[in-house]
Amino acid sequence: MTVLDMRDVRKVYNSGGDDIVALDHATVQVDHGEIVALLGPSGSGKTTLLSIAGGLLTATEGSVVVGGHDISGYNAKQLTDFRRNNVGFVFQAVNLVPFLTAEENLLVVDELGGGKGGKQSKGRARQLLDELGLGHRLKNLPAQLSGGERQRVAIGRALFNNPKLVLFDEPTSALDTKIGEQVMELIQAEMKARDTAAIIVTHDTRMTHYADRTVHIVDGRLDAGSVTA
């Protein structure tokens, strides 16, 4: 079943009176539990595609349906609610809240949704971190964690709300090869275990074998293999 369905999506920026096409009639679909690697050079539009898929940007043209929600016409507030409840993000620079412990960084998602970090939420955060091999690091601040551990906390945060789609923005770029591979193995295992769809933006071809499918993007255009049957 399709989790992400982007059809004929264009994104045009206006710069100094000139239109710059960042995404040109992109069509891509991602199914439940499917991991798609998005590969392309700098400036090819992969970040734009990821941002539109996650409701961070709105498309100039085309339709974007995520988990059954057609977000093409959503306003900023609707997109905020949508992101909070339906999408998980793992950013390139990790970006954990520096003054919160590993456990609290997961509970932030609950707090943003109006939760009070109650017993149930704490239980879920602990369970997630335990699954990610961080059961002994619950009370550590990000500064007390290694790069790989921080990235695993970020993965836990992305998974906290049981999203249908998780978007990874170059999740291994700040890690050495060995740790990067461990993180990719973890991502693969977690996505498959939860039957969660994922798009992983990367420029590292060594990491693409963890994905079910690789989509290439050049100058805002996706290659022909991006549409699944």
Partner 1 sequence: MSLPLKEMRRRPSRFIVATVVLSFLATLLMFLGGLLDGLYLGSTGAIRSQQGDAIVFSSSALDSFIRSRITADDRAAVESAPGVEEVGGIGFALLGATVPAQADLVDVAVAGYELPPRGVPEPPPDFEGIADTRLEDQGVRKGDTLLVGPASVPITVVGFVDDTSYLLQGSLWVNLTTWREVQNQNRPDAAVADDIVQALVVRGSGDLPASIDAATAGATHTLSLDDAVLAIPGVKQQRDTFNQIIYTTLFVVLAVVGLFFSLLTLERLGLYGVLKAIGASTKRLFSGVVLQAVFVAIVAFVIGSLLSIAAAAALPVEVPLQLTPARFLSTFIGLLVAAVLGSAISLRRVTKVDPASAIGTAS
Which residues are near partner 1 by CB under 8 A?
22, 47-48, 50-51, 54, 56-57, 77, 80-81, 83-85, 89, 91-92, 95, 97-100, 104, 108-109, 111-113, 157, 167, 169-170, 201
Distance CA 186, CA 132 (A): 8
Adjacent-strand bridge partners of 88:
166
**Looking up tokens 């264009």, which residue turns up?**
10
**Measured from the CB of residue 212, what is the shortest distance to partner 1 in angstroms?**
22
Nearest distance in Å: CB 38, partner 1: 12
Between 72 and 95, CB nearer to partner 1: 95
d(CA 20, CA 10): 11
Burial of 40 (0-12, 13-18, 19+ CB in 10 A): buried
Closest CB 82 distance from partner 1, rounded Å: 8
- Minimum distance, C-beta of residue 127 to partner 1, in the bound complex (Å): 19
- The answer to whether residues 52 and 58 touch, using CB atoms and an 8 Å cutoff, is yes
Q: Which is nearer to partner 1, 43 or 225 (CB)?
A: 43
CB closer to partner 1, 43 vs 135: 43
- The residue type of 34 is E
